């Protein structure tokens, strides 16, 4: 019979076996199937013929499989799997360390420096990774780099030198050697297997676990889109990004090459190779592509108010934002005004104080959002902001510049909120909203939100929204049972309080 790597986060072996046999995409990225006869590891959705159970070993992640000497399958391509969201979300030390690794912390820093950032000793961090992930931090970092390089070699026409740079290798020789040792082929050999059309843009496939309601995500972003900076239609999201001297644009849409292809399509134009991994990580966070809907629903469905909402919208995700400062400014301007009014004022701010592109990419994509430097001393009352809101935006701009607040991945939610509320004009609602939409923090909870207080009745059998309004204290107590996924409860309740949109299907 099959065997399994001894690991706390690996699903029950019977679940793994059933998911493997049915090729269940809901488990994509939650475990990998290693075949001892071929020394190859696959995703649960791999279309290849099923191996004999006696030749199977299950691993919780790609790094653990590669640490055991297995190579990624060229057919199902493990690099397309969403990450195990449970270990890359929240405040646990391993989660914060993984986020830092995703941001490239080990590319230019030592393991001891990474451990210091999450408040652990180097030996303790290494032990936690081995116990819970089955691989060392260095192993996770190495697998991450190689799999991203493998995706670029397969899906783009970038020269191998630029692929090496994009994956964080400072030397082409080192990249070739590492790739050959790990995958038993040269990078150029992998490229020979694919035919790619010549284009002026890069297109990458970003996988997710179903269900995923992409239409609902676009509806949320469209109501907040800033003209000139972003453009959202019924099928895609687009925006410009900096720096001003070398701007680019991106577009995110549904990948429709195959039926049941659970992925989004990221198109990039003007991105430098060194930016690619950062951009991909930002988009994955922004569109919440690494969430595990089953784990979230299991935790929140115990609440009678949330259970029917999760059943009705199982694919609803947490919409984050492209840039932390941009989200912070939006949150400040949005204090005590409608979403439409906040969008109007923020659009004026972007047009007046942002950077106009000398050559716009299109009529819809012509401005970069202003930087903290541009707003630190700006006269923001000229665009209609109240003096109080204008001063808060300036205060936040200065605080980001001098390091009093930040968006660092190692920051725990409680510490993040405390730093932000210490600034004049920033209260708990604003700080938690920023944590939700700038960090994508799954447990951020703006308990002072009026819509939430009205949406959750004081009694389980009370009328839905519009009944008794809860206090922030009572709402916080009720939400204790929703941890560590309170932000997902917020999104469900906000969505339920909106006017009913046209019927759509989760993708």
CATH number of residue 41's parent domain? 3.40.10.10
3-state secondary structure of 293: helix
Range of the domain at 173: 86-191
- How many domains are contained in the chain? 3
Q: Using the 3D structure, point to which of 191, 219, 247 is the last residue of a domain.
A: 191
Are residues 207 and 186 part of one domain?
A: no
Are residues 366 and 342 part of one domain?
A: yes
Position 479 in a domain: no
pLDDT of residue 253 exceeding 90, the answer is yes
Band (507; pLDDT cuts 50, 70, 90): very low
pLDDT of residue 447 exceeding 90, the answer is yes
Contact call for residues 171 and 164 (beta carbons, < 8 A): yes
Band (505; pLDDT cuts 50, 70, 90): very low
Would you name the residues annotated as active-site residues? 42, 449
Are residues 345 and 237 part of one domain?
A: yes
Position 473 in a domain: no
Q: What is the mean pLDDT of residues 423-450?
A: 96
Q: What is the spatial distance between Cα 3 and Cα 65, in angstroms, rounded to a whole number?
A: 13
pLDDT of residue 41 exceeding 70, the answer is yes
CATH number of residue 133's parent domain? 1.10.10.60
Q: Using the 3D structure, point to which of 158, 191, 224 is the last residue of a domain.
A: 191
Measured in degrees and rounded to the nearest 5, phi and psi for residue 252 equal -120, 125
Are residues 73 and 91 part of one domain?
A: no
More confident residue, 124 or 88: 124
Q: What is the mean pLDDT of residues 422-447?
A: 97
Q: Which of 55-59, 83-87, 238-242, 358-362 has the lowest mean pLDDT?
A: 83-87
Q: Computed over its alpha carbons, how large is the radius of gyration of the chain? A: 23
Kindly report, residue by residue over 363-375, the tens digit of the pLDDT. 899 999 999 999 9
3-state secondary structure of 190: helix
Band (304; pLDDT cuts 50, 70, 90): very high
Are residues 360 and 259 part of one domain?
A: yes
Are residues 131 and 58 part of one domain?
A: no
CATH number of residue 363's parent domain? 1.10.340.30
pLDDT of residue 322: 97
Q: Using the 3D structure, point to which of 56, 77, 98 is the last residue of a domain.
A: 77
pTM score: 0.93
Are residues 279 and 148 part of one domain?
A: no
Kindly report, residue by residue over 58-104, the tens digit of the pLDDT. 999 999 999 999 999 999 999 999 998 666 788 999 999 999 999 88
Are residues 221 and 180 part of one domain?
A: no
Q: Which residue has the tokens 């970092």?
A: 141
Are residues 103 and 18 part of one domain?
A: no
pLDDT of residue 43: 97
Are residues 233 and 167 part of one domain?
A: no
Q: What is the spatial distance between Cα 213 and Cα 503, in angstroms, rounded to a whole number?
A: 12
CA-closest candidate to residue 464, choices 499, 425, 493, 437: 493
Secondary element (H or E) of residue 40: strand 40-42
Are residues 428 and 292 part of one domain?
A: yes
Are residues 353 and 205 part of one domain?
A: yes
Question: Pairing state of beta strands 3-4 and 56-59?
Answer: parallel
Position 345 in a domain: yes
């Amino acid at each position: 019979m099959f065997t399994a790597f001894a690991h706390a986060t690996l699903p029950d072996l019977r679940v793994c076996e059933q998911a493997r046999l049915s090729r269940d995409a809901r488990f994509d990225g939650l475990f990998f199937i290693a075949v001892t006869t071929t020394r190859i590891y696959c995703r649960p959705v791999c279309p290849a013929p099923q191996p004999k159970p006696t030749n199977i070993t299950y691993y919780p992640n790609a790094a653990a499989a590669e640490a055991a000497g297995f190579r990624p399958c060229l057919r199902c391509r493990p690099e397309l799997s969403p990450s195990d969201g449970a270990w890359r979300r929240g405040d646990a030390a391993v989660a914060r360390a993984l986020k830092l690794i995703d941001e490239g912390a080990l590319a230019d820093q030592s393991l001891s420096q990474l451990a210091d950032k999450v408040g652990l000793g180097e030996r303790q961090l290494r032990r936690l990774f081995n116990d819970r992930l089955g691989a060392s931090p260095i192993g996770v970092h190495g697998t991450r780099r190689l799999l991203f390089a493998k995706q670029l070699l397969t899906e783009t026409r970038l020269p191998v030198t630029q692929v090496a740079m994009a994956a964080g290798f400072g030397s082409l020789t080192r990249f070739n050697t590492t790739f050959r040792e790990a995958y038993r082929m040269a990078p150029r050999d992998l490229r020979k297997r694919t035919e790619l059309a010549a284009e002026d843009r890069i297109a990458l496939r970003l996988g997710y676990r179903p269900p995923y309601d992409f239409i609902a995500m676009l509806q949320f972003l469209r109501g907040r889109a800033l003209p000139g900076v972003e453009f959202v239609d019924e099928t895609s999201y687009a925006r410009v990004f900096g720096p001003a001297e070398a701007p680019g644009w991106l577009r995110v849409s549904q990948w429709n090459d195959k039926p049941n292809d659970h992925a989004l399509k990221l198109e990039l134009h003007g991105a430098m190779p060194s930016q690619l991994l950062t951009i991909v990580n930002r988009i994955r966070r922004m569109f919440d592509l690494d969430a595990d809907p089953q784990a979230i629903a299991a935790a929140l469905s115990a609440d009678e108010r949330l259970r029917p909402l999760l059943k009705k919208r199982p694919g609803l995700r947490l919409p984050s934002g492209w840039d932390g400062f941009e989200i912070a400014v939006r949150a400040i301007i949005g204090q005590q005004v409608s979403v439409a009014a906040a969008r109007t004022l923020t659009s004026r701010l972007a047009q007046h104080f942002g950077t106009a592109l000398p050559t716009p990419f299109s009529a819809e994509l012509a401005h970069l959002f202003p930087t903290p430097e541009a707003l630190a001393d700006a006269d923001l009352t000229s665009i209609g902001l109240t003096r109080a809101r204008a001063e808060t935006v300036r205060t936040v701009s200065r605080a980001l510049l001098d390091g009093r607040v930040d968006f660092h991945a190692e920051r725990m939610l409680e510490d993040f909120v405390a730093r932000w509320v210490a600034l004049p004009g920033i209260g708990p609602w604003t700080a938690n909203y920023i944590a939700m939409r700038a960090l994508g923090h799954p447990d951020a909870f703006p308990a002072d939100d009026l819509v939430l207080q009205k949406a959750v009745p004081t009694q389980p059998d009370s009328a839905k929204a519009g009944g008794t309004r809860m206090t922030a204290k009572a709402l916080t107590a009720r939400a204790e049972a929703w941890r560590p996924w309170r932000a997902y409860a917020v999104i469900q309740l906000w969505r339920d309080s909106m006017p009913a949109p046209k019927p759509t299907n989760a993708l």
